[in-house]
Structures are given as C-alpha cells and as structure tokens.
Amino acid sequence: MHQPIIPADRLAKLVAAASAVTRQTDLTAVLRTAVETGMDLTGAAYGALGVLGEHGTLIQFVHAGLDGETAAAIGAPPQGRGLLGTISNVGKTVRIERIDDHPDSVGFPRHHPPMETFLGMPVTVGGETFGNLYLTEKPGGFTGDDEALVEALAAIAGSAIATSRMHGRLRRAAVVEDRERIARDLHDAIIQDLFAVGLSLQSLGQKVENPTVKVSLTESVQRLDEAISSLRKFIFDLRPPVWTRRSLKSELADLVGQLAEPYEASIDLTVTGDISDLPGEAVSDVVQVVREATSNALRHSGVARVTVTVHRGADRLVITVADRGRGFDPETVERGMGLDNLRARARDANGETEIISRAGFGTTVRVILPA
C-alpha cells in the first residue's frame, strides 16, 4: 500500500489541531477547528462538517469558506442526498477531480458557487457514523497525502463528537443501569478510539525528521494519554455508589448458581475478610476471574464439584478455584482465550496468577491481586 511521507509542516498543523480538539469543551468550536484545519492542511477553499443524529438526519452543520451572504442565499444545509449520502451510507472516503462526474452527484442548489475537486469522508467512532467531513476546491485536486491527513483529522473530530454526546446522555441519565451502560459504552467506544488516534499520531511521528514537530507530536500523544486516564477515572466514578451496588458476596453467589445449574454441579463458595470497600475495578476482576476458572472446571475437569474461595487479607485479595478432576498440563495444553485473559487481567491489576494442575489430581487456579 502507498504510505504517504507527510511533510513536517503539515504534520505540525495536524498535531496542533489534535491538541486543540482535546482541550476544547465546546463542540461547535471543536468542529470548526477541525474544518478550518482541514482547509489549511490541504489548501481547500471550502470545508464543512455535518453531524448526523441517531436517525441519520443532519443535526448540526459547520462550514467555512463561503461568505455569509452566499451562505444565506443558498439556504438550508445539504440534506445528505447525492454524494454526501454516499459517504455516510457507504462509509468510505471519496476523492474526486470533478464532483459533476461522480454518478451519485445530484448537482448544486441555486446560488451555490461552482465546485469541482472534492475530498469527503465519514466521521466514525467504533463503527458508528457520526457525520461527514468534506473539503472542496483544492486547485489541482486532492492528493493521497491530503486523504491520509484529513482522515486522521476526521478520527479526532469523531472522538470529540462521541465524547460530547456521551456527556450529554450522562446528564440525562438518572437511573443506575443507564449509568452503567453508558460507562461501558464510554469505555468500549471512546477509549479504544482515542487509543487508535494516539497510535496513528505516533506512527505519523515516525515519518518526521523535524525535531520541533517530533516534540509536539510526543506532547500530543501524552495529552491524549492523559485524556484517556481522566476518562477512565470518570468512568469508575460513574459506577453507582457502594450502597446501591449489590454486594460482591451476593453477586458471586448468583454467578456460581448460574454456572452450576446446567451441570447440576455443586459449588462451594466461601468469602472471608472485609470486602465491603473494594473498588469497582477489583470487584469486576474478582467476578471475571471466578467466572472463567469455575466455568473451566465445570467444562473441562470431568467432576461436578468445585471449590471457590475469595479472601481479603490486609493488602491482598486471593481468589482460588479448585477441582479434583482430570487436570491438565498448563505447559502443553491447547490454549483458549479464557486462561490468557485471566492472566492478562491479573497482570493489568499488578497481580499474579498461579495454575497448579496435574493429570488425575485436579486443578487449582489462584489469582492474587493487590487490594
């Protein structure tokens, strides 16, 4: 694939826009910055960003390049038929020399200035389309480099729209379940996307020589990282307060009950030590570890009796799941996702995993987490 070598000054502009976007709190200002940066980066005479609502209708339209009088004479913003509709529906970038030549073009409204060259793309986050960003009238036409830069810009604008939308929903979300769901959405969609933007900035950075640009790129990536961690913290604060949360003990009791039922198995659950003040992250770690190790025992050990203990000590949390079934050799066993995930989860929490298993003697999985 063609890997564009992006000149340093253009990259610097993109980086400046990325930091402007991560600092802004007013969405309209963010979108305007994105459009203007796109024009500035490419030399396009006009630019616009349309934001789509949940049902695909245009709910916000920011444009630049047209004077006020012309904009007023044109009237309503584009309704998403024609080429713009193609971008949102097909979800792909369109880069063409002459708008009129494109089969989906429906022409321009009255008073609209003539436009020929076009670069447009959907603004998406986590597979969901939030709008489209497009630029027109670059003398000589848009290049592959323009496309790469503006796509990075569209990703940044997308994260901004998604974040702002989540904040809006949060303010309206009164009920606990809603908050939990939104917290999950925030985590899954936005954090992943911010990560992706960070990664692409980082890889763009590897193509630059200019030390000033390198430094400002690094700073931008750092700022994104900070944004990600404050978002993380915000998400954990979103969890319902302790008194509305069900206790870890009853959550575990329900979980093992559900797991045991189809196997008609008997699961001994013992929880000791004070677990009332565990942070939300530790609670979900315990639940996920117990879920995986217990379902492994039920699915693979060949016996229908499993012992689960969770002990909170002075500074650690020990989760043990044991069976006296057929056992396996952890070194040579064909690996699934489960045990790998479990180890990764423990590692992320600065904990340890111990798997003791021997053919014929059974299996003990122990995870020790700091707490």
Ligand X SMILES: Nc1ncnc2c1ncn2[C@@H]1O[C@H](COP(=O)(O)OP(=O)(O)OP(=O)(O)O)[C@@H](O)[C@H]1O
Applying CB under 5 A, the span of 87-95, 256-264, 322-330, 335-343 interacting with Mg ion comes to 335-343
Per CB under 5 A, which of residues 16..55 are in contact with Mg ion?
Answer: none
Residue 340 CB contacts under 8 Å (≥ 6 apart), including other chains? none
Residue 62 · residue 52 · CB < 8 Å: no
Strand partners, 151: none
Phi, psi of 66 (to 5 degrees): -85, 140
Minimum distance of ligand X from residue 315's CB (angstroms):
28
Nearer Cβ to ligand X (51/306) = 306
* 338 contributes a contact to Mg ion by CB under 5 A: yes
Partners of 324 in the β-ladder: none
Distance CA 274, CA 231 (A): 29
Q: Is 179 in the site for ligand X (CB under 6 A)?
A: no
Looking at residue 78, what DSSP letter applies?
P
Dist. CA 140–CA 142, nearest whole Å: 7
Q: State the nearest-atom distance from the C-beta of 325 to ligand X, in Å.
A: 5
Segment interacting with ligand X (CB under 6 A) among 122-130, 153-161, 226-234, 337-345: 337-345
Helices marked H in the chain: 8-23, 27-42, 68-74, 82-90, 144-172, 176-185, 192-205, 211-238, 248-260, 280-300, 338-348
Which of ligand X, Mg ion, none does residue 117 bind (CB under 5 to 8 Å by kind)?
none
Q: CB under 5 A: which stretch of 6-14, 116-124, 280-288, 338-346 binds Mg ion?
A: 338-346
Task: State the nearest-atom distance from the C-beta of 165 to ligand X, in Å.
Answer: 34
Min dist CB 271 to Mg ion, Å, is: 23
Tell me whether residue 279 or residue 336 sits nearer to Mg ion (CB atom). 336
Q: Is residue 294 at the binding interface for Mg ion, with CB under 5 A as the rule?
A: no
Q: Is 296 in the site for Mg ion (CB under 5 A)?
A: yes
CB 120 within 8 A of CB 84: yes
State whether residue 369 is helix, strand or coil. strand
Give 207 or 299: the residue with its C-beta nearer to Mg ion.
299
Q: Which residue stretch of 159-167, 170-178, 222-230, 338-346 sits at the interface with ligand X (rule: CB under 6 A)?
A: 338-346
* Residue 294 CB, nearest approach to Mg ion (Å): 10
Interacting partner of 326 out of Mg ion, ligand X, none (Cβ under 5 to 8 A depending on kind): ligand X
121, containing H or E segment? strand 118-125
Q: How far apart are CA 23 and CA 30, in angstroms?
A: 9
Binding site for ligand X (CB under 6 A): 296-297, 300-301, 323, 325-328, 333-340, 363
Binding site for Mg ion (CB under 5 A): 296, 336, 338
